[in-house]
Amino acid sequence: QVQLVESGGGLVQAGGSLRLSCAASGRTFSNRSGGWFRHSAGKEREFVARIPWNSGSTYYADSVKGRFTISRDNAKSTVYLQMNSLKPEDTAVYYCAAGAAWGPSGEAPDSYVLWGQGTQVTVSS
């Protein structure tokens, strides 16, 4: 059974950087799309970034474009989210997600079938 485990969250000052990692155990991540979502108080879970398994393209929410970078290392079965120029409004619990094997990705949460437990990111001003 595949399980996703996030790490790398923490407390950082505005303008700082963090790198989140999402490691898949049990089976390879290489044939699944990877996605990052976040959930802050009073809001629904929102799309942040995604990377399909079968292309070199990456996709981002407008709110993070130019600041965040999603990448993957298939040899390590890991998807990353590099977050630069962090803002207080980036404060949220960040969740890693994986799509169906050999399937498409999207920006809706229901496009994903596996989820990590979440990691807290807090940006102070």
d(CA 40, CA 90): 9
Binning pLDDT at 50, 70 and 90, where does residue 1 land?
low
d(CA 14, CA 74): 31
Of residues 2 and 85, the one with the higher pLDDT is: 85
42 versus 6: the higher-pLDDT residue is 6
The rounded mean pLDDT for the chain is 93
Q: How far is CA 39 from the centre of its chain?
A: 12
Bridge partners, 10 (sequence order):
121
